[in-house]
A and B are shown apart, each in its own frame.
Chain A
């Protein structure tokens, strides 16, 4: 029979993990792991560390620079939080489309990131907002830009004995606007075919100072769009041409063909979404003109 450990305090959990690195499978809301266990019973671990009882990993706090979200906070709590809706509306939106209510009631933000699916719905938004991760170990805490967390298909920067402790999100700069869309097959449950978040900071009317993107389901890992961001920085909106944006998207993503769609479809939809994120009015005008 497999062992189940449910510590009450974070230091206790970290000590257990450090004493036997690699022995425990960490479980939080269980919405990914319970499915995996069901589908692949041969991969059942023989020791589980349940982090759902650790109060240090729960809840949202507003700080001077922004927001701290404990890794084991449910997507439901995030979706409902008034400050999240007011200052980080893209996060409220991504939490609200991560599965249906019974999933959101259990699923945690940390689980969504650590499960490291290329389709993770909250990943693009955290990339666009420039989130940082608080990673905890028995020997101390380290900080990592979320953009450096995903290192390969389902491979994260977490080392043996480490837990994701919290996600820190800075306040978006003044005069910035967000854009978030999930293109799937059905509103709630469906796995995204492509999802995108963008945070676009305008220096003054018509000029982009800085644009940061996050996309999911367009590569082996959730990814930012560095070439597109570089092309846009300091450019006037009226000088932005479609071709270089499309070129940048092609450079930055590596779409795959799978049961949900072809690579060509993903590249096309990704390019259109990026263009719309940059200039929602232009995209709408074009649609009207068709």
Chain B
């Protein structure tokens, strides 16, 4: 039985096994390579996507639980947005492996707190690891995208 989902607004049917990881379905069946595999164990957030608006690590999600789910990957975020511009302006990306997950964590955070405090930003991103930037620039980008100062 195929699994039918909406991925970035488009209906998609996957014929992979229900035990397949959503991560592999996105990368291999849908060719959406923006979702990265870091640890494969739920620790790093490189594979983070939104499922029905909630941030999840796609390496921990079996396809069998995705029937009729609404999934947003980094490819589904607007190409030009306050968030994307702030990431560029603040230098919040270096090697870029963590960036898709960071953008989705930030999107989930901003949907809930339009003007997050530093504490809320830290919490919202606490499941996403970055080995390059030291986080400060990422926090600054999110604060700036929310219309706040960039010097958090």
The residues of A with any CB-CB pair to B shorter than 8 Å are 1-2, 4, 6, 27, 30-31, 34-35, 37-39, 44, 48, 50, 52, 76, 99-103, 105-106, 187-189
Contact = CB atoms under 8 A, between A and B. Distances in A.
B21 interface: yes
B42 interface: yes
Contacts of B59: 34, 38
Nearest to A27: B62
B56 interface: yes
Nearest to B3: A4
Contacts of B43: 189
B62 A102 contact: no
A211 B20 CA distance: 47
B45 interface: yes
Among B41, B42, B62, B108, max chain A CB count under 10 A is at B42
Contact of B127 (A34, A37, A44, A188): A188
Contacts of A27: 62
Contact of A4 (B18, B123, B127): B18
A108 to B, nearest CB: 12
A6 B64 contact: yes
B124 to A, nearest CB: 6
B44 to A, nearest CB: 10
A99 to B, nearest CB: 7
A101 B126 CA distance: 7
Contacts of A48: 18-19, 62, 64
A2 B126 contact: no
B42 A34 contact: yes
Interface string B1-45: 000000000000000011101000000000000000000111101
Nearest to A36: B41
A34 B17 contact: no
Q: How large is the interface on B (under 10, 10 to 19, 20 to 34, 35 or more residues)?
A: 20 to 34
B115 interface: no
B17 A2 contact: yes
A102 B57 contact: yes
Nearest to A50: B64
B117 interface: no
Contacts of A99: 42, 127
29 contacts: A4-B62, A4-B64, A6-B64, A27-B62, A30-B60, A30-B61, A30-B65, A31-B42, A34-B42, A34-B62, A35-B41, A35-B42, A35-B60, A37-B19, A38-B40, A44-B19, A48-B18, A52-B65, A100-B45, A100-B127, A100-B128, A101-B55, A101-B127, A102-B45, A103-B42, A105-B56, A106-B56, A106-B61, A189-B43
B48 A102 contact: yes
Contact of B60 (A34, A52, A189): A34
A43 to B, nearest CB: 13
Contacts of A50: 18, 62, 64-65
Contact of B126 (A4, A34, A37, A189): A189
Given A30-B65, A101-B108, 12 more contacts: A4-B18, A4-B62, A30-B60, A31-B42, A35-B42, A38-B59, A100-B126, A102-B42, A102-B48, A102-B57, A103-B42, A105-B55
Nearest to B58: A102
Contacts of B57: 102-103, 106
A6 B42 CA distance: 23
